[in-house]
A and B are shown apart, each in its own frame.
Chain A
């Protein structure tokens, strides 16, 4: 027989004995009937997933990833805890086809759920959780400490590391203060210089205004004088004639020099 044939035969046999398959029956039943069963099934699957994740977190080496995974697990747990009352209500409802005993069984299951949820490890110390858990769930007004019960005497004892750290911090603060003092002195000097410069400039502004007016006057007088001078010169001898005069004079001097050489 080939493999294909074996597979087909297996399928036939399964179909024949389906009614004995408890799992399938249950899932069929739940999908068609029961809100409670559905919710319960989803709960179970979520708890499974959370357990898996916490196992992975325990095996992780990178702290950041561990923290992230633990946070996820905690979120899931919180959500589940919220839904538990809903489940409880559903458990109380009478559904057709379920006996009274089954109802009670369901109710017990629901009660056991919170315990199971809390049991999922999420990176916090579980021992304290057990004791504090009851109180927390009973009255929701207490501030929840992550590690209560461990706040003993030696919790606040300064370890060597922390005291060293504190010393270093103090020293750095001192150095910073010294640096800031130096800066403040420099700024003081700057401020004084700036204010003195300010006053000096204020003093010189009117002086420069005076110079400005005087120079303006002098310039205008100079311009006038230049114009008059130009007029006078052109009056005496127009520029054309002046040039001719100069050239003739040069020629004369040249001739004289030639004659007397």
Chain B
């Protein structure tokens, strides 16, 4: 066997191309050759060729109906593509790998593949990255493994915050709280709720924050928690327009135990003019004494 990877590739291609003399492709030997070539290319840092070789190896494994190996090769291809900076391909490869893993029936590696893709794309294509994160979370949730999804939710929320999409970030945080609820992780749940309220306040959307708080108070675990007390203090400080109090609450230890991205945003509160919120409370109809309802 020649160690020259190009020759290996050529040989393998010949084995797989159907022609008059060849009626069925010999995937077994071809796959072996492809793998060897790919490794050789990777060692010699020929990324483009390595990527192609991995792709072909993965296809070969698929034909040999071993999705596990196929997925592994796809992941390697994606890593090489990352070195190339070929972001679209990175995303595609990781998605394909995750699909193959799901074929094997292994959800954890599938979501891991998506997470790796998301991490690679965080800087370049943050929108796609966050989509990958959310898909990864869904993959785990379908399999009942919400516990593992916490880190992914955290990462997704931080990407949204970087993108300054606050409503989306808050939505992700609330989904995180839901996942935490399913596995009875009350502490994480309460922290997620508090983070969502803080994000709404950071977006200077007091009504939303209040609504969110009211929704969260429906949940008993949150109602009796430290985080709820902190949220109450924060919201009352906001409605009083007391900037000092807001800053004091932001320095408190309850907030300092949240995710550091959230802490940074909390320390920057209040955003904008707080006194305007004082008059923003909905006016109540003056109580009519004759009205008996």
A interface with B by C-beta (< 8 Å): 185, 188-189, 191-192, 195-196, 198-199, 202-203, 206
Residues from chain A with Cβ under 8 Å of B183 in the complex: 202
Mark contacts of B234-278 with chain A using CB atoms, 8 A cut-off: 1 yes-contact digit, 0 otherwise: 000000000000000000011011000000000000000000000
The closest CB in chain A to the CB of B188 belongs to: A199
- Secondary structure call for the B interface: helix
**B262 shortest CB reach to chain A, Å:** 14
Additional 16 contacts, C-beta under 8 A, given A189-B257, A192-B187, A202-B185: A185-B253, A188-B226, A188-B253, A188-B254, A189-B253, A189-B256, A192-B253, A192-B257, A196-B187, A198-B187, A199-B187, A199-B188, A202-B183, A203-B148, A203-B150, A206-B147
In angstroms, Cα B226 to Cα A202, docked, is 21
In angstroms, Cα B184 to Cα A195, docked, is 12
In angstroms, Cα B256 to Cα A202, docked, is 23
* Total A-B pairs, Cβ < 8 A: 26
Residues from chain B with Cβ under 8 Å of A191 in the complex: 226
When the two chains form their complex, are residues B147 and A203 in contact, meaning their CB atoms are under 8 A apart? Answer: yes
Residues from chain B with Cβ under 8 Å of A189 in the complex: 253, 256-257
When the two chains form their complex, are residues B187 and A202 in contact, meaning their CB atoms are under 8 A apart? Answer: no
The closest CB in chain B to the CB of A194 belongs to: B187
In angstroms, Cα B220 to Cα A38, docked, is 83
**A52 shortest CB reach to chain B, Å:** 70
The closest CB in chain A to the CB of B183 belongs to: A202
**B260 shortest CB reach to chain A, Å:** 14
Residues from chain B with Cβ under 8 Å of A202 in the complex: 147, 183, 185
B107-148, CB < 8 A from A: 147-148
**A211 shortest CB reach to chain B, Å:** 13
**B69 shortest CB reach to chain A, Å:** 20
**A199 shortest CB reach to chain B, Å:** 5
Residues from chain A with Cβ under 8 Å of B253 in the complex: 185, 188-189, 192
**A193 shortest CB reach to chain B, Å:** 8
Mark contacts of B164-183 with chain A using CB atoms, 8 A cut-off: 1 yes-contact digit, 0 otherwise: 00000000000000000001
**B180 shortest CB reach to chain A, Å:** 8
The closest CB in chain A to the CB of B190 belongs to: A195
Residues from chain B with Cβ under 8 Å of A198 in the complex: 187
**A155 shortest CB reach to chain B, Å:** 46
When the two chains form their complex, are residues B185 and A199 in contact, meaning their CB atoms are under 8 A apart? Answer: yes
When the two chains form their complex, are residues A195 and B187 in contact, meaning their CB atoms are under 8 A apart? Answer: yes
In angstroms, Cα B274 to Cα A245, docked, is 94
Residues from chain B with Cβ under 8 Å of A196 in the complex: 187, 257
**A215 shortest CB reach to chain B, Å:** 17
**B88 shortest CB reach to chain A, Å:** 34
Residues from chain A with Cβ under 8 Å of B185 in the complex: 199, 202
Residues from chain A with Cβ under 8 Å of B257 in the complex: 189, 192, 196
**A202 shortest CB reach to chain B, Å:** 7
The closest CB in chain B to the CB of A195 belongs to: B187
The closest CB in chain A to the CB of B146 belongs to: A203
In angstroms, Cα B147 to Cα A206, docked, is 10
Residues from chain B with Cβ under 8 Å of A192 in the complex: 187, 253-254, 257
**A138 shortest CB reach to chain B, Å:** 63
**B146 shortest CB reach to chain A, Å:** 10
In angstroms, Cα B253 to Cα A195, docked, is 14
Residues from chain A with Cβ under 8 Å of B148 in the complex: 203
**B125 shortest CB reach to chain A, Å:** 30
In angstroms, Cα B148 to Cα A185, docked, is 31
Residues from chain A with Cβ under 8 Å of B188 in the complex: 199
In angstroms, Cα B179 to Cα A203, docked, is 13
**B193 shortest CB reach to chain A, Å:** 15
In angstroms, Cα B176 to Cα A199, docked, is 14
The closest CB in chain B to the CB of A206 belongs to: B147
